[in-house]
Structure 1
Amino acid sequence: MNKENLSVLLIEDSPSDADLFQEMLREASVVRFEVVVVERLSDGLKYLSNTQFDLILLDLSLPDSHGLETLNRIQAAAAHTPIIVLTGLDDETLALKAVSLGAQDYLIKGNVASTLLAHAIRYSIERKRLTNTLHQHEQEFKTLVENVPDVISRIDQDLRRIYVNPAFEAVIGIPSSEIIGKTYQDVGIKTAATTLWEDTIRTVFKSGQPQIIEYTSPTAKGWRYFQTRLVPEFSEEGVIST
């Protein structure tokens, strides 16, 4: 059976630890790891300037960089590459912080078996791939929403707008800085249309079903007819969030 090839940049200033990690990677049964080892952050950054790796194994305590600044600089140079932080027992809190800032995982030196290391690398690569794909889709959606001529906004359960697209500002005539976090009534708009709109929004939150309403409302260029579709957004727990 042909082995999968994965390239790894190992940034580790301890020769004994670097040798141990390389030996564990050589023992992997289903993956062939091609490992480049450097001892300093500056050398790692040089490699990243012209070489694409599948994953980075990163010691946060290096001769020329220490702590989360090490992670920040690597992320800036390789934003789409998964990173696993290597740490000692006394640095686990720092490693957890690194994960919260975007590292895919952390491993405690001395507590890592070859099988665990190989699995952690493969899972980290897959998680990062999914994260990158999600981010790309979010950017594509944002580009679409911010360039359509239709008025689009997101509203929380207190009827406050938490997002408006550029068309909202152009058509309604209210800058996003003045409406975000506020209701229509907060900015002085109180008409029969806003009452209808607010009552229908409450119905959507209660029923979980989309609604379509038609009304006229004041805009930057006078009164205008609108047909508005109100659609609930559900959280991962199935609760209507906006």
Structure 2
Amino acid sequence: MTKPAPGPDQPPIPVRLVTFNTHHGVGEDARHDLPRLAKLLHSVDADVICLQEVDRYFGERSEDVDQALLLSRALDMQLAWGPAIDDPGPDDRPRQYGNALLSRLPILISDVHPLPGEGEPRSALRTMLELDGGTLWVTNTHLSAGRPDRRTEQVTALAALHTESMEAGVLVGDLNARPDAPELEPLQGRFSDAWDLAHDRDDQAGWRFWQREEGLTHPAHAPHRRIDQVWVTSGVTVAAAQVLDAGGASDHLPVMVDLLVQSGV
């Protein structure tokens, strides 16, 4: 039986999303503390959590644990995993480092796309999530630091991952560039900066009154850079955006957005 098309009065679907560069669970005190990170992530009560700099059996810096799996179990959320570094390890257990997505929503599709550029390998984790009456595409990434030309190549590849049929889509992560940087220009034809679109926003990184509402996320102790971002397509409305206190859990601050996704897209 063909599913009837949604009516024009069908309300949009609320989705709370958080993006956070976790610095492989090492906080500002230089201590690896995964329970601290899990407690912080649990407190935000998000439907979707996008994490960067996550380790899976990567070595002593993160106590050689599978951070992605442990966090998904602690939060009782589904897991999608996208390694950027994938090296052979002992006992047939690869050493991996990359991006993770935790979700309360069913994950229908999950694929990993290596990004171009020299230096540290980078990748994008693309997922399709099931909503009640629709779907949401989420792409989670961490772009190269340093040379803008590397990011230009990577952003061009990211933009190509989102086709016209993906009307409701979100691109998130540590982009290592300000939102108006020239290398992010390829995003602007398909995406808009969620922070600018938000009807209500608050910047807890605004440690001086004139910095409020700027969305600053790095470094966590005295933020002056807005490199952790959320970009949305036309099928997604941004009700609110907020920079959260990381509680010392990372050298970045998390960004939380409350989205309204059009039904039936």
When normalised by structure 2's length, the TM-score is 0.29
Higher fraction of helix? 1
Higher fraction of strand? 2
> Rg: which structure is higher?
1
Higher RCO (C-alpha under 8 Å, 6+ residues apart)? 2
When normalised by structure 1's length, the TM-score is 0.31
